[in-house]
Structure 1
Amino acid sequence: MTHTSTNCFLDELWDFIFDGLKKKALKIHNEEKAREAYESKGEAVLQEMNLTELQKSYMKDFDYGKALLCWHIATEICYNVDQDENDEKRKWSKILSDYLTYLLIHQPKLTAAVAGITHERYGETCLEVKASANKLGAENLKDFCAKALEVRDEENGEGGYNREHAEERNHDAETGGRVLHGKSVFHDACNLARILRNHDKQWEMIVGVWAEMLSYAAGHCRGNEHARTVSRGGELLTHVWLLMAHFGITAQWPKN
């Protein structure tokens, strides 16, 4: 119950997802383009916005589960720091971020084909977030998100995350468990949030990435798992899967 919402899915967000998939389908003219569209989990949006370094550092080098957790935390930080209630894409980003993270953690069979070692990484990330919240002395979520933008990797100083030494450090005094930074994504997410906050089209970028994350998960979910969701009332993920098939965004490009 903690991770679900009774709010109706916004019509405007439905339209955004539909239009995005339709535009993607119109760009498909051969098998190579079809494969690129089907396999993109956010890279295409970043590439279109000429953010190749961001694409490489925070998407291409990550598996789906790590990328999703990283972008989820970064989105949460940006959402709570940015208080513009009239920005529709800010709201849409939050909805899609929460939904896909919910699926990743609480409906793992739907994302099993792409997620990787999600629960282990999720547990490590939770430990690190908790330790960071205690260290920063945050009073509430918004305060924590504001302070998280100032989090710097102690070894790298200016905020770069040194993955080479990632698993060599830190013992969480409160839990008694070692925080494996190589599997946790909190520092990466803080660095990403700072980059997103400095972009003049941050929410256009973020919601575009989440829409692609959604279509990637929908396309790579096993068909029998989609079928099971129908008997339980259905999932947005399954609607997107069927819509992708309708538009021809599939693993096998329909040449006819």
Structure 2
Amino acid sequence: MFWCLTLVNVVVIVTVWTSISGAFSRHYHRSNLEQRVHGTDVTRWVTIVLLIIVLVLSFLPPTLDRRWDIVDELHSHKQPTWETAMSQLSRNGRSDIFWQRAFGQYSLLLDFDYHSWNVLPLLSLGLVGKTREGQKAGRKTMLTREIIERVLSGFKESNGQLHDGQSALARNQLLSQFSWACTLPTNIHNILAWHIGTTIAMDGHPVPRTGDHRVAKTLSDYCAYLVAFVPDMLPGHGYDTQRIFDAVVMEARKSLTGCDTVSSRCEKLTMMALASDSSGTILELGGRLGRELRGVVPEARRWKVLADFWAEFILFLAPSSNVEIHAEKLAAGGEFMTHLWALLTHAGILERPSTTDGVGGGNNGAPARDSPV
């Protein structure tokens, strides 16, 4: 089957190339079919456009017709047992055709100063979207069974209830100290503040291949990646998420001028945090959070708290009514968030609670004030 498709593609490519080359050839001759409008040969250009359409269609990935296979498989079981969830997320089966088990990663404090020349969007006449300032994806990392178990075990312990991270903090006897960082104006504020805080708390500590440190780092950078690259997969309107992200990038460029390393940026933010309060910007709040997280000792406890928080928070973010974005991403290779969304939908969880543990958990992404940060 693979060779048949390859042969068809080769034939189509040769045919299209020959036709277009002939149309532009200096030996192109006029015929009775030639029609001109204001000096333009309409027949030639209509032919070329139709041939290009055929070429594009011949390259459309076969996953477009099967993009719902993952969701169908995840929904195919009558009972949403934890064993089924673990099996569906970790197995090496048909889903590998669509998703290579890779996490997108993004570090705000590392790449906020990234600048793209956007040559490809210009050459494509806008068909390829522009890369925004500070939008540089890091190297993808593979999903491990350790991460899957951490996310789903926390969900099991909460009896299938979603929490915005406060429950994880309470289990670690740190809710009173960090509850302020879970009740920011929007969930996007929470993601970015905790991402910045996590980066600061981990600065200077090499990330091991396994353990709580690795789980927290991976999930933190993945949530930041969704904010920067897949905002429609998160709570709230994607445009508002982009505005918040862009504002944080611009503030970081202004506030962290002269800091060339992640460590120097972390140190400056912790110094800025001394003068900030609960009404500060996302960058300032992230600096304050990072400074306070550094005070959680021993380090093993710090990594456990962060791993528990992110494992709980990413599930809280998963419910969505935007089915189209999940279908689109399935055709392009899939996202871990789509698996979580499908599992929660199958379990009957279609919306996230507006409050958790009796404390407001943000406003589900709706802007709460005029300033995006």
Paired residues in the alignment total 215
Q: Deviations over 1:149-172 (max 9, x none)?
A: 2224xxxxx444262xxxxxxxxx
| Corresponding residue of 1:110 | 233
Shift of 1:52: 3.1
Q: 2:246 aligns with which of 103, 106, 123?
A: 123
SS in 2 for 1:81: coil
User: 5+ residue gaps in structure 2?
Assistant: 1-134, 353-373
Answer yes or no: is 1:70 the counterpart of 2:70.
no
Partner of 1:88: 211
1: distance between equivalents of 2:232 and 2:278? 32
1:167-201 C-alpha deviation (Å, 9 max, x unpaired):
xxxxxxxxxxxxxx5xx311111110111111122
Q: Say whether 1:3 aligns with 2:137.
A: yes
Question: Offset at 1:215?
Answer: 0.7
1:212-245: CA deviation from partner (whole Å, max 9, x where unpaired): 2211221235334323322222210011123334
C-alpha distance in structure 1 between counterparts of 2:206 and 2:342, whole Å: 35
Residue of structure 2 in register with 1:17 after alignment: 151
Higher radius of gyration, 1 or 2: 2
CA contact (8 A) 2:169 2:175 kept: yes
TM-fit CA distance, 1:248: 5.5
1:74-122 CA distance string (max 9 Å, x none): 1111222333636621222121111111111211221153778322222
Higher helix share: 1
**Runs of 4+ with deviation above 6 angstroms:** none
Match of 2:319 among 219, 224, 241: 219
Q: Which of the numbers 177, 183, 204 marks the counterpart of 2:304?
A: 204
Distance 1:85 1:2 in 2: 23
Letter in structure 1 aligned against 2:220: S
Map 1:1-256 → 2, pairs under 5 A? 2-24=136-158, 27=159, 37-38=161-162, 40-83=163-206, 85=208, 88-113=211-236, 117-134=240-257, 137-152=258-273, 158-161=274-277, 163=279, 184-200=281-297, 201-220=301-320, 222-246=322-346, 249-251=349-351
Higher RCO (C-alpha 8 Å, min separation 6):
1
Aligned mates of 1:145, 1:71 — CA distance in 2: 13
* Structure 1 counterpart of 2:124: none
Note if contact 1:151-1:159 (Cα within 8 Å) is conserved in structure 2: yes
- TM-score normalised by structure 2 residue count: 0.51
Gaps of 5+ in 1: 29-36, 153-157, 164-180
| 8 Å CA contact 2:329, 2:335 repeated in 1 | yes
In 1: Cα distance, 2:275 partner to 2:304 partner: 24
| Range that drifts further, 9-18 or 234-243 | 9-18
CA shift, 1:208, in A, is: 1.6
Q: Shift in Å at residue 247 of structure 1?
A: 5.1
Could you say what secondary structure the match of 1:102 adopts?
helix
Q: Percent identity?
A: 22
For 1:162 and 1:16, locate their aligned partners in 2 and report how far apart those are by CA, in whole Å. Answer: 30
In the alignment, the residues of structure 1 paired with residue 198 and residue 321 of structure 2 have an alpha-carbon distance, to the nearest angstrom, of: 24
**1:139: how far off?**
3.6
Report the Cα distance in structure 2 between the residues aligned to 1:130 and 1:211, rounded to whole angstroms: 30
Aligned-pair CA distance for 1:62: 3.4
Residues 149/52 of structure 1: CA separation in 2 closer, same or farther (3 Å cut): same
Helix, strand or coil: the match of 2:139? coil
The answer as to whether partners of 2:198 and 2:217 remain within 8 angstroms in 1 is yes
8 Å Cα contact 2:227/2:245 also seen in 1:
no
Distance 1:11 1:114, change over 3 A: farther
Measure, in 1, the Cα distance between the counterparts of 2:209 and 2:233.
Answer: 33
